[in-house]
Amino acid sequence: MPEVTELYRSIAAGARARAYDEVLRKLTECFLEIPFADPGAATSMVREGADGRLAGFFGLIPRRWQYNGRLLVGVATTGMVIDPNHPDAKNAAQWLTRSGLGQAYDFSICDKPTDLVTKMRTGRGSARSVSTNVVFRSHIITGHGYRWRIGLRNTEDARQRMRALVRWRRYWPALAPLDRVARRLAQAWDARRPRPVGGKAVDRLALEDATPASLFEARLALAEVYSPCMVDDAPLAKWQYDFLADYPSRGRFRWLIARVNGAPVGWFLYYVRQDQPSEVASVVAVPEFRAAVVAAMLECAHKDGCTGLVGTTSGVMAHELIEAGATIFRCDRLLVAARDPEVLEAFRSSRTMVTGLESEIWI
């Protein structure tokens, strides 16, 4: 694990900003300590080169998904990291692809595939010969994951007022840089004046701090609505809660379950950070209460002092976030491999719920 941690921190920009001990602890928990009921379903692997140095690793995290009453055993495979400077880098990538994807499970999902993983899994580019040794057919689903952000300060109104005062920039383009000055002044001014958060509030929507038991209950409720949807057993739900709650570098942990008449209808999870936009790790709800859960999340984040939120969502929640004022600034690919073509088509549907918890968010 120390060698894996060093390799991961040398490549992943986000990990370099975190303490070594925290990254080592989180990787160890992900790959060695997850309490999956069938440990033989997936095994993480490392590959050493001829010189004995670590050339790469493939982290496989087991997951269960429910689809049409069937329980599928799968893995999240976002953790494939190859040392690009290693002389055996190509051979290591080929071996990890064949050995990692050749294990017995129903499907695998990669919610943020790198170019290398995409080539290995689809046979595109120079890695086409490798794909013939893989037992799955892989598909790239575009437009499934959206990176979004929303500000919780009223910067736009003041920005427009400031721009109205410098209309002469249309006639003297050389003075256009003053518009950037106006933008910064507007942001500094409005940072002192929080705006009211709008949204479709529901009086009967009640929020409570998540617990491992309520998380498990909420996930089973959502699994009845979305197909396919990840489900856990109670020990795995507790492990995931503990894993996400103990993340000092991300900020103060806030995970709330939304209920209506006592029944769970959704949740949201974010980390409060004062010096930069707070990170939303997951937000999801049943269709009837999506807008209400988004409004409740914004209200809670505003009360917590968040200046803005940034996160990733599938198409399930994208419309409600946009209606609440969010800006979509990136589209992530989703790479799914499965033995059953029907399962692949289900992942293509707009009703597939991918919350960011299917694979661990340290990636």
Q: Which of 81, 69, 30, 341 is nearest to 229 (CA)?
A: 69
Q: What is the pLDDT at residue 66?
A: 87
* Strand blocks (E) in the chain: 45-48, 54-67, 70-82, 107-110, 137-151, 205-209, 229-231, 252-260, 263-272, 278-285, 308-314, 327-338
Report the C-alpha gap between 358 and 228 in whole angstroms.
Answer: 12
| Residue 48 phi, psi (nearest 5) | -100, 145
CA 329 to chain centre: 15
Q: What is the pLDDT at residue 318?
A: 87
> In the predicted model, what is the mean pLDDT of residues 335-357?
80
Cite the residue boundaries of each domain of the chain with CATH code 3.40.630.30: 146-151+196-332
More confident residue, 185 or 44: 44
> In the predicted model, what is the mean pLDDT of residues 268-278?
87
Task: Please tell me whether the peptide bond between 212 and the residue prior to it is cis, using omega within 30 degrees of 0.
Answer: no
Q: In whole numbers, what is the pLDDT of the chain averaged over residues?
A: 78
Report the C-alpha gap between 134 and 187 in whole angstroms.
Answer: 52
70-82 vs 107-110, strand pairing mode: parallel
The fold of 2-142 is Aminopeptidase (3.40.630)
Q: What is the pLDDT at residue 100?
A: 73
Pick the CATH number of 146-151+196-332 from 3.30.70.100, 3.40.190.10, 2.40.50.100, 3.40.630.30: 3.40.630.30
Q: Which long-range contacts (CB under 8 A, 24 or more apart) does 338-344 make?
A: 338/74, 338/106, 338/107, 338/108, 338/136, 338/137, 339/106, 339/107, 339/135, 339/136, 340/106, 340/107, 343/67, 343/72, 343/106, 343/107, 343/228, 344/137, 344/139
More confident residue, 73 or 105: 73
pLDDT digit string (tens) for 97-125?
Answer: 777 766 777 888 877 666 666 666 665 54
